[in-house]
DNA sequence: CTACGACTTCAAGTCAAGTTGAGGTCAAGG
DNA sequence: CCTTGACCTCAACTTGACTTGAAGTCGTAG
């Protein structure tokens, strides 16, 4: 089985070695062993890192990600919680879309102050539906 | 014109007074004056706070938010940048949707280890399209 | 008048998520 | 043999976003 040095993992994933060590320290990834001092990773870690990056951009903390994609590739979160998180993500996605439309409108609108533009205000009310609450 | 004490703003917005002072300090919101020592805010600040919350959950830093919805309600970001940010938001929204589907699948899938499930792997590849890059 | 509660400032503390640096190990090449 | 480069550890530092605490200032109610 092909093993990767930390440098290789860094090169392929774009995640710096210092961060990979940190992630290992907090139990977010695992090396499969050492060769001398050097950590060896197998290719699977790359998928895991991609998933971690994804979770991060979705606003999950590293702790949450560890829970959701717990070491051993198994998920230790009860199913209803997962579905709730999925709902949160959907709501969040809708907010992002609304914000996106808002930004596009700002980019296009000639109105001197945005707050004076009725379309802006309408888009904003729309973006603010679902009061933007962080859910741990 | 109705003015609000910091405590009222906190009560109506859910943002604690300490945070409101902090936001004022970094120029993210402005009070319209003082009565004695006390900051007075007008109602507009509530909309601004909602917008800030929205921006935060979209992953913008407070600095970015300040640029985008710059003091005076005007935006000081060049239009192409705004459109680029909007594109980022759309991409991000798509990733969130993919992640949501992934979570829902995990909640439903009986496969002992997710990595063994072909549907999981497919959803994951899908979620990972657009390599999840943070754009300042 | 004075006590209370809601505010004020300012400095320091906290937390997550890393990064940086000093000093050490090891294998391979010249 | 000895240098070089890639790795190692561990502690300390950084940044962003707040929070906390001590000490002080108001204005209104009793």
Query: What is the value of pTM for the model shown?
Result: 0.89
Please, are residues A5 and A37 in contact by the beta-carbon 8 Å criterion? Answer: no
pLDDT in tens, A8-38: 999 999 999 999 999 999 999 999 999 999 9
Minimum-distance residue to D18 (CA–C1'): B19
- Residue of A26, A25, A23, A85 lying closest to A48 (CA atoms): A23
More confident residue, B131 or B109: B109
Hey, what long-range contacts does B43-50 have (CB within 8 A, 24 or more apart)?
B43/B2, B43/B4, B44/A115, B45/B4, B45/B9, B45/B13, B46/B9, B46/B12, B46/B13, B47/A115, B47/A124, B49/B9, B49/B13, B49/B15, B49/B23, B50/A124, B50/A128, B50/A131, B50/A132, B50/B13
Q: Which of A80, A95, A100 sits opposite B86 (nearest CB)?
A: A100
Best probe of the B interface among A70, A86, A90, A109, by most B CBs < 10 A, is A86
Question: Is the per-residue pLDDT at A126 higher than 70?
Answer: yes
Q: Determine whether the interchain pair B93/A96 forms a contact, defined as Cβ–Cβ distance below 8 Å.
A: yes
Give residue A73's pLDDT: 66
Contact in structure between B40 and B31 (CB atoms under 8 Å): yes
| pLDDT 10s digits, B12-30 | 999 999 999 999 999 999 9
pLDDT higher than threshold 70 for residue B88: yes
* Higher per-residue pLDDT: A104 or B111: A104
- pLDDT tens digit sequence for A30-74: 999 999 999 999 999 999 999 999 999 899 999 999 998 876 667
**Protein residue minimizing CA–C1' distance to D7:** A38
Q: Which residues of B are less than 8 Å from A51 in CB distance?
A: 124, 127-128
Contacts made by residues A118-123, CB under 8 angstroms, sequence distance 24+: A123/A98
- Number of DSSP helices (H) and strands (E) in chain A, helices first: 6, 3
DSSP character at residue B93:
H
The whole-number Å distance from B64's CA to C15's C1' is: 22
| Nucleotide with the nearest C1' to A37 CA | D8
**Cβ–Cβ below 8 Å for B114 and A44:** no
Q: Is the CB of B39 under 7 A from strand C?
A: yes
């Amino acid at each position: 089985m092909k093993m990767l040095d930390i440098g290789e993992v860094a090169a392929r994933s774009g995640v710096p070695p210092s961060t990979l060590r940190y992630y290992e320290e907090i139990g977010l990834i695992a090396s499969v062993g050492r060769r001398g001092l050097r950590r060896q990773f197998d290719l699977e870690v790359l998928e895991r890192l991609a998933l971690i990056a994804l979770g991060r951009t979705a606003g999950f903390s590293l702790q949450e990600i560890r829970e959701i994609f717990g070491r051993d590739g198994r998920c230790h979160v009860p199913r209803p919680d997962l579905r709730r998180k999925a709902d949160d993500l959907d709501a969040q996605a809708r907010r992002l879309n609304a914000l996106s439309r808002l930004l596009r409108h700002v980019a296009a609108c000639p109105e001197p102050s945005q707050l004076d533009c009725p379309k802006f205000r309408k888009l904003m009310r729309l973006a603010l539906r679902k009061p933007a609450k962080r859910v741990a």
